[in-house]
Amino acid sequence: MSEPIHVVIAEDSAILRDGLVQLLVDRGFVVTDAVSRPDALKESVERDRPDVAIVDIRMPPTFTDEGLRAAIELRRVHKGLGILMFSQYIETRYAAELLADDAAGIGYLLKDRVADVGDFVEALVRVASGGTALDPEVVTQLLGASRRADSISVLSVRERDVLSLMAEGRSNVAIASELVISEGAVEKHVANIFTKFDLPVSQTDHRRVLAVLRFLGS
């Protein structure tokens, strides 16, 4: 990181909250605040203007969707703020709602599946930079729950594999490595996906991912 990324953490578990603070500080991030309630998160963002917020979906007082509601409101008020939802639960309604307007700078990771610190840090940097980072299981659920199932059904099995990895925020090189195919083959699959979805093809990986995610979240 050329410039330190400023992060606010909203997590009601004190152990996890403190652990995240230490992990990020040790890797060069600036943690502007670490809070346990949605109202404190809003105040912190207004005061410190961080680059990205790590937010638990279920927070006090009811532990249902307070974190999500706070994240959606913050995105509306603070344009460009990255949001990384960090949850124990796979709930496609939450993911789709957060992605509905704009997928730029959005992430949704599952706590139990983040075993590699390097992957977590990479996802956070990507979200802070305006990219996308979705847990593979969240992508699978989004694909299954999409109201455009008829459109998705036109994709080949390999195209679905590529779409899932695109939605996770993977580059063409990473997709090629994961699927053990050439980068040229990935580019052809990406072009086919956009043709079948009637979406404009862009030379920018970032924009391609966002277009696919907007489709899935629509």
Residue type, 158: R
Q: Is the pLDDT score of 118 beyond 90?
A: no
Section 195-207 average pLDDT: 61
Q: What CA–CA distance (Å, rounded) separates 111 from 106?
A: 16
pLDDT cut 70: percent of the chain above it: 78
| CATH number attached to the domain at 6-133 | 3.40.50.2300
Q: Is the pLDDT score of 149 beyond 60?
A: no
pTM: predicted TM-score of the whole model, two decimal places: 0.72
Q: Is the pLDDT score of 144 beyond 90?
A: no
Residue type, 163: L
Domain ranges of the chain: 6-133, 146-217
| Token pair listed for 95 | 């993911």
The reported pLDDT for the residue numbered 218 is 44
Question: Among candidates 195, 196, 192, 190, which has minimal Cα distance to 209?
Answer: 190
Section 9-31 average pLDDT: 95
Continuous H helices in the chain:
14-26, 38-48, 66-77, 92-99, 117-128, 136-145, 149-152, 157-167, 172-179, 183-197, 205-217
Please report, for residues 54, 100, 126, 145, 218, the alpha-carbon distance to residue 215 in angstroms, rounded to integers and kept in the order given: 24, 9, 20, 12, 5
The reported pLDDT for the residue numbered 79 is 86
| Token pair listed for 145 | 């729950």
Q: Is the pLDDT score of 21 beyond 80?
A: yes
Section 188-204 average pLDDT: 71
The reported pLDDT for the residue numbered 205 is 52
The reported pLDDT for the residue numbered 183 is 92
Q: Is the pLDDT score of 74 beyond 80?
A: yes
Report for 68-77, 109-118, 187-196: range of highest mean pLDDT = 68-77
Average pLDDT, the chain: 83
Q: Is the pLDDT score of 179 beyond 70?
A: yes
Section 205-213 average pLDDT: 57
Instruction: Give 121 or 115, the one with higher predicted confidence.
Output: 121
Q: What CA–CA distance (Å, rounded) separates 176 from 113?
A: 23
| CATH number attached to the domain at 146-217 | 1.10.10.10
